[in-house]
């Protein structure tokens, strides 16, 4: 599995790390940006982030969050309006579980299929962190739909 580098503004990166310490329920955020040349290599640079607040969920629990479809739709409209080429969904695991659950994996597959039909030439990814700041991050290559890991790098 090849690695992508995803550059996230340090303030946004710290906000993502801090979200995991809100233990009452999982938290969700959308990151949007573009593929750019960084240090002679292609990388993803996050330009904008939207953290969901409590009213943006149909349901939010310690081990599950369901963002409203209308809110996800607004994020996709924003992505299209700003001409971003990358959309990454981030959520927390406020327990000690730094991996995608089976539910996460199924949600990611469904969302990728939906996303790819609307935006066939854009990247879609997912990232999860647990209370220790450990986690997984994957992005689907729009060329072949295969999963690739990525490293989130604060700048």
* Nearest-5° Cα angle at 101, 100 to 105: 70
Q: How many domains does the chain have?
A: 1
pLDDT value at residue 2 = 52
Q: Which domain holds residue 119?
A: 3-154
pLDDT value at residue 1 = 40
User: Largest alpha-carbon pair distance within the chain?
Assistant: 43
Alpha-carbon span 34 to 89, nearest angstrom: 15
* CATH at residue 99: 3.40.140.10
Block means of pLDDT (10 residues each) for the chain, 155 residues, are 79 88 84 91 92 88 83 94 94 83 86 89 88 81 78 88
pTM (two decimals)? 0.87
Residue 5's DSSP bridge partners are 151
Alpha-carbon span 112 to 138, nearest angstrom: 12
Alpha-carbon span 62 to 133, nearest angstrom: 17
pLDDT value at residue 85 = 94
């Amino acid at each position: 599995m090849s690695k992508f580098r995803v550059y996230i503004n340090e303030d946004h990166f710290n906000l993502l790390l801090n979200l995991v310490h809100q233990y009452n329920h999982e938290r969700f955020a959308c990151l949007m940006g573009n593929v750019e040349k960084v240090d002679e290599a292609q990388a993803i640079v996050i330009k904008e982030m939207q953290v969901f607040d409590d009213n943006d969920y149909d349901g939010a629990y310690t081990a599950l969050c369901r963002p409203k479809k209308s809110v996800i739709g607004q994020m996709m409209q924003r992505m299209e309006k700003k001409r971003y080429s990358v959309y990454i969904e981030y959520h927390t695991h406020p327990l000690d579980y730094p991996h995608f659950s089976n539910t996460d994996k199924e949600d990611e597959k469904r969302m990728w299929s939906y996303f790819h039909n609307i935006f066939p030439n854009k990247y879609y990814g997912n990232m999860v962190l647990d209370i220790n700041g450990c986690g997984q991050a994957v992005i689907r290559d729009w060329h072949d739909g295969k999963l690739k890991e990525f490293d989130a790098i604060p700048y």
